Structure 1
Amino acid sequence: MKRTSLLALLAIVCTLDTGVVSASTEASAGHRVAVWGPSMTTGGPAFNHQTIRMVAHTSTGGAGLRIHLSNLRGTIPLSVGAVSIGLQEQGAAAVAGSLRAVRFRARESVSIPAGAEVVSDPIPMAVDTEQNVIVSLYLPDPTGSATFHSSAFQTAYVSGDGDHTTEEGASSYGTTRTSWYFLSGLDVLPFEARGTVVAFGDSITDGSITPTGANRRWPDALARRLAGDHPMAVVNSGIGGNRVLTDSPTLRQGIRALARFDHDALAFPGVRDIILLEGINDIGNNAGPNGTPITAPALIEGYRTLIAKAHAAGVRIIGATMLPYKGAGYYRDTGELVRQEANAWIRTSGAFDGIIDFDAAIRDPQDPAVMQSSYDSGDHLHPNAAGMQAMADAIDLALLQ
């Protein structure tokens, strides 16, 4: 049941640390939880004197919404002339009367230094669980290459010249993209959620080959399961092509998990649990440390480092087994041996705070190196929407506290 009208204005009195913060600083106050937040990379397109309208899908409901903007991977200061947020009607159109101006230390504009991020003042609006909100950024000056999340599997809308943040209609937004630009998070004072679960991984977590705008990734399906008797927010911190041990040669695939984990997993407001599903790109690309071939012991050492980071921060980390990938373009028999050895360690070592056996949920019983055909998107690496649901269904919700 909804705890408030979606368009209700709430009188929220908070003393908050807002404004420009370093990339390593968590901007939170009170019992806040992150309800949405993609990991950001370098290599996005440049914008100038344009407005970008983006859709974010909340994983739980709350009040006092704040937005996070990132110039983390930028090389020049980012000027943001105006920001608005509202509820999505359809496409780039907002529900009538829902748009709210967003302010930063009571100002409508903000300049974000290269390598930094900002958090808005609390916005007098509430959001519901699984609410589509639209955030519009007016960028008055050349941005340089955007800090962005390349594979959003969600449509963004780009205007021609000018500030169109206050327009409820869609007519000014003539171009569509499928990335998120500069928008790196939403957090709330939750109605019910006890904390945030961060799904940390690669393209399988990111949602590759799932339908655009349908929110059929496995973290989305997990959020829907948790919305019942286990109220928790879920944030998807997957990046397509990401690896545990080495940076990907394509910058938009992100720096290695070892380097991004503090920011992309531990820094979210309210994080209590992390689900780690990563390593298949290390294996498929035979990418061990310092240019060496990948081995299971090297991958396991990477997992141990991430476990230690989580525990030092007082956060639980749950290990997920890597999915079968025989038939994928970068499959090798020697790589399969590494996957099997690493998965066996995940299952039996006791190093994680809990285990999710995605491999067992997805594999073909007749050939365990292969994904079940009914779950295969067609590339033998990424599950389809049914496979994503099967992954979410394989999670024991009691693991998430």
Structure 2
Amino acid sequence: MTLTGLIGLPSAALSAQLVWLGAFAHVPTAYNQSALVTTTVRDGNPRNVPAGYAPLPAYRAETTVREVVRLSAAARSIRVRLSNEFSGKELRIGEAHIALAAENGEIVTGSDHVLAFAGRQGALIPAGAPLLSDPVDWPLSTLSKLAVTIFYPNETVPPAHTLYALNAWAAPGNQAGARTLMDAIAARSGNHLSEVDVVPQGGSHTVVCFGDSVTEGVASTVGAFRSWPDRLAERLQANRTTRGWSVVNAGIGSNRLLHDTPSTSALSRFDRDVLAVPGVTKVIMMLGINDIQYSRRNPAEAVSADEIMAAMGQLIARAHARGVEVIGGTITAFEGSSSYSPEGEAIRTKVNAWIRSSGMFDGVADFDAATRDPFRPGQLAGTVDSGGHLHPNDTGYAMMGDAVDLKLFARQERSD
């Protein structure tokens, strides 16, 4: 096996001397090969559902995939992180480009940059490994939208993490540097891009938003960057006392604290998806609703409020051991959703009371109070409900982003 793109060259030595911050993420997870599981829905009738992320059809050989992302902080230089961490096979990258994104999958003329890997145009990523590109010196303003385009010369299994809130396109042939992708179709998954890092123009801190589909931004307007972490990034950059912060969204749909299915559990992915993010000094943790819901769907994996709180305590201890502060996000309401039960609501209420009053966290973001119906607090307010009584709409996500107290960030800025 040739470790193309992994041999250290002068560019890699230069990169090691720079101060990097994570400025975008779409964290990796695994496909789940488990058989269907039987779940009981709200009307009491059982049904069979996939246990996890079902494998998607492979990208054909000679395919180009373009994905649009947004930086949460201004940059002097950038690099990308590609992930092959959940594959048992090598991943061949034929060519990779990054450019300013225009509309409908096009790129801005004159903005295209070829990404190199240890000075080479392509790369071979070993099974189970990530790969960082060489730095690109490119001043970019905060909230810049970028198109990352990869050409796959071989048939390639797409990443398991479906693009719930981002846009991507797949097109035949090598069109990595094309302004417009010809014969392109929408892609459910992306191009193995797991992170974009920046050498900031003035920042020094990254906050990671660690959660499930409500953090990822499911049911928000696709491609509009309307998740609550996106809203938080906008607020941080608009305030001169907090512009030194970048934001990374480490949400995965259906993520649970204590069990892997249907995605890698929070306890097992915390080191990679939070503690390994460049510049991380704070994490906002919003988890638990799927542990509650799956307790009804799959009684064999039922958990208690005490088990959820103990798992959160483990993550707090691991973060504090690395000098990372933890803000606790309360669990938003879910009455009326398909997996609601009074027993689950009792667990949610107990966990939320603990998040607010235990003193375990370095701060609290009361997402529940910001989005619940004041007259029926077990439900999302009608104005913020996307329709399924579980995920907020764009308005609800904006309210969640506004519920994070910026004083928690200004305080750390002043201490530097």
Distance of 1:233 and 1:292 partners within structure 2: 36
Give me the whole-angstrom Cα distance separating, in 2, the residues matched to 1:59 and 1:151.
18
Matched residue SS, 1:310: helix
Output the CA distance in 2 between the equivalents of 1:189 and 1:133: 16
1:211 aligns with one of 212, 221, 229: 221
Residue aligning to 2:189: 179
Cα distance in 2 for residues equivalent to 1:49 and 1:292: 42
2:170 pairs, out of 158, 162, 165, with 158
| Equivalent residue, structure 2, for 1:278 | 287
Normalised TM-score (structure 2): 0.86
Deviation at 1:173, TM superposition (A): 4.6
Contact map agreement 1:92 1:173 (CA 8 A) in 2? no
Q: Which residue does the alignment assign to 1:6? A: none
* Residue 235 (structure 1) shift: 0.7
Residue 125 of structure 1 and its aligned partner are, at CA, apart by 1.7
Aligned to 1:67: 80
- The reply on whether 1:341 has 2:354 as its aligned counterpart is no
| 1:68-103 Cα distance to aligned partner (Å, 9 max, x none) | 111011110000011111111222221111111110
* Candidates 236, 248, 256, aligned match of 1:226: 236
Cα distance in structure 2, aligned partners of 1:17 and 1:386? 45
Deviation at 1:353, TM superposition (A): 1.0
Aligned counterparts of 1:382 and 1:263: Cα–Cα separation in 2: 26
TM-fit CA distance, 1:193: 2.2
Asked if residue 147 in structure 1 is aligned to residue 159 in structure 2, the reply is yes
Q: CA 1:290/1:328 → structure 2, altered by over 3 Å: closer, same or farther? A: closer
CA contact under 8 A between 2:93 and 2:122: conserved in structure 1? Answer: yes
Aligned with 2:138: secondary structure? coil
- Matched ranges for 1:230-245 at <5 A: 230-231=242-243, 232-245=245-258
After the TM superposition, which parts of structure 1 deviate over 3 Å for at least 4 consecutive aligned residues?
A: 14-18, 287-292
Question: What one-letter code is carried by the residue in structure 1 that aligns with 2:25?
Answer: G
- Structure 2 counterpart of 1:315, from 324, 332, 348: 324
Query: Distance between the aligned counterparts of 2:364 and 2:101, measured in 1?
Result: 37
Aligned to 1:356: 365
| Alignment length (residue pairs) | 373
Give the Cα–Cα distance (whole angstroms) in 2 for the partners of residues 288 and 377 of structure 1. Answer: 22
Matching residue of 1:265 = 274
What is the rounded CA distance, in whole Å, between the counterparts of 2:107 and 2:216 in structure 1?
A: 26
Secondary structure of 1:216's aligned partner: coil
The aligned counterpart of 1:8 is: none
1:72-87 correspondence runs (5 A): 72-87=85-100
Task: Tell me by how many angstroms 1:142 deviates.
Answer: 2.1
Q: Percent identity?
A: 37
Q: Which residue of 2 aligns with 1:389?
A: 398
Asked whether the equivalents of residues 24 and 195 of structure 2 are also in contact (C-alpha less than 8 Å), the reply is yes
Aligned to 2:110: 97
Q: Could you tell me which residue of structure 2 aligns to residue 39 of structure 1?
A: 27
Aligned 8 A contact 1:42 1:148 in 2? yes
* 1:9 alignment counterpart: none
**8 Å CA contact retained: 2:367, 2:400:** yes
Amino acid corresponding to residue 220 of structure 1 in structure 2: D
| Secondary structure of the structure 1 residue equivalent to 2:26 | coil
Aligned AA (1:38) = H
Q: Indicate how the Cα distance of structure 1 residues 65 and 191 shifts in structure 2: closer, same or farther if over 3 A, else same.
A: same
Cα displacement (A) at 1:290: 10
Aligned residue in 2 for 1:126: 139
Gaps of 5+ in 1: 1-13, 19-26
CA contact (8 A) 1:246 1:287 kept: no
Q: How far apart are 1:351 and its partner, in Å?
A: 0.8
1:29 shift after superposition:
4.5
For normalisation by structure 1, the TM-score amounts to 0.89
Q: CA RMSD in A?
A: 1.9
Q: Secondary structure of 2:99's match? A: strand
- Bigger drift between 147-156 and 107-116 goes to 147-156
Q: Secondary structure at the match of 1:284?
A: helix
- Distance in 1 separating the partners of 2:289 and 2:136: 40
